[in-house]
Homo-oligomer: A and B are copies of this chain.
Amino acid sequence: MTRKELIEKIRSKRSFLCVGLDTDLAKIPPHLLETENPIFNFNKAIIDATLPYAVAYKPNLAFYEAAGIEGMRQLNMTMDYFKSLSDKPFIIADAKRGDIGNTSQQYAKAFLDPQGEYDFDALTIAPYMGEDSVKPFMVYENKWVVLLALTSNKGAIDFQFLETPEGPLFEQVLKTSKLWGTPENMMYVVGATKADMLTRVRAIVPDSFLLVPGVGAQGGSLEEVCRYGLTAECGLLVNSSRGIIYASKGEDYAQRAAEEARKLQEQMAAELQKVNFC
């Protein structure tokens, strides 16, 4: 998906919501476990219920890998389902990959290749190994790298805030990596739990889309994220995983997920109006 198409999708839905598909067999409603494809059935119900309110989905690879080959098969089914939709969302593989060049090429093939099994729009990448670990992900047209800059977890403080000659490490990651791509093929992960840092992020990457996790279960505030992060072209994808998909563990899980997604979409519409986006 191109940046222009993504922005149009946000405008038409008045939403920049990304729904995280952290689908865990230990957490989905128990009645689904009796079905043949519980992971896929859960995902499909969540997608159908939340699609009116969401522009993006983010399957978290760890959860599918933890379910073994069966998990990967049902991720594959989920991707096929996305492709069958007329309103096809932006789909991010939350995989935190990155390795030496010839290995990153293989990860890119696995996740982004239009001829491959998954054909995601984007992939999250860890920056530690530098330029030649990231660039191989940029060879596919209209596909995106989502680079970790400032994460939402407690451990972010261990290294991301270390002072380097040009500011804390996460700022240096932004400054260096923005030369590797463009706002048309690179986004950054910036955690909602550190919303005030968004001002510093925006000073370095004023136009880039930011993927913002941490709203909801992790305690981040949507209003704060918007205050510091929203741009004239939106520039945000705000992710909620557990707060939506596990809103209920009963048979009403899809309906409750839709309600939570709708609440976030309504708040997002109000924020987009404030900046005259739509």
Which A residues form the contact surface with B (CB < 8 A)? Answer: 22, 24, 60, 62-63, 65-66, 68-69, 72-73, 76, 94, 96-104, 106-107, 109-111, 116-117, 126-134, 148, 151-160, 162-165, 169, 172-173, 176, 218
25 contacts between A and B (CB under 8 A): A60-B99, A62-B97, A62-B103, A62-B104, A62-B107, A62-B110, A63-B106, A65-B106, A65-B111, A69-B117, A96-B98, A100-B218, A127-B158, A128-B128, A128-B151, A129-B148, A129-B155, A129-B156, A131-B154, A131-B155, A132-B154, A133-B155, A162-B165, A162-B172, A164-B164
Complex Cα distance A125/B169, Å?
A: 19
| Residue from the list B65, B76, B151, B162 in contact with A107, Cβ < 8 A | B65
Complex Cα distance A32/B60, Å?
A: 34
The answer to whether B130 and A157 touch across the interface, beta carbons within 8 angstroms, is: yes
Complex Cα distance A159/B168, Å?
A: 12
Residues of B near A155 (CB, < 8 A) are 129-134
From residue A128, how far is it (CB to closest CB) to chain B in Å? Answer: 5
Residues of B near A169 (CB, < 8 A) are 159, 162, 164, 169
Residues of B near A131 (CB, < 8 A) are 154-155, 158
The answer to whether B127 and A159 touch across the interface, beta carbons within 8 angstroms, is: yes
The answer to whether A66 and B110 touch across the interface, beta carbons within 8 angstroms, is: yes
Complex Cα distance A153/B109, Å?
A: 20
The answer to whether B151 and A110 touch across the interface, beta carbons within 8 angstroms, is: no
14 more A-B residue pairs beyond the given contacts A126-B126, A132-B155, A133-B155, with a C-beta to C-beta distance below 8 A: A60-B99, A62-B106, A63-B103, A63-B106, A69-B72, A69-B73, A127-B128, A128-B160, A129-B156, A132-B154, A159-B173, A162-B172, A163-B165, A164-B169
Complex Cα distance A164/B63, Å?
A: 35
Complex Cα distance A116/B67, Å?
A: 9
From residue A37, how far is it (CB to closest CB) to chain B in Å? Answer: 14
Residues of B near A101 (CB, < 8 A) are 153
- Once A133-B155, A154-B131 are accepted as A-B contacts, the answer to whether A126 and B96 lie under 8 Å apart by CB is yes
From residue A96, how far is it (CB to closest CB) to chain B in Å? Answer: 5
- Once A163-B164, A176-B158 are accepted as A-B contacts, the answer to whether A66 and B130 lie under 8 Å apart by CB is no
Q: Name which residue of chain B comes closest to A72, CB basis.
A: B69
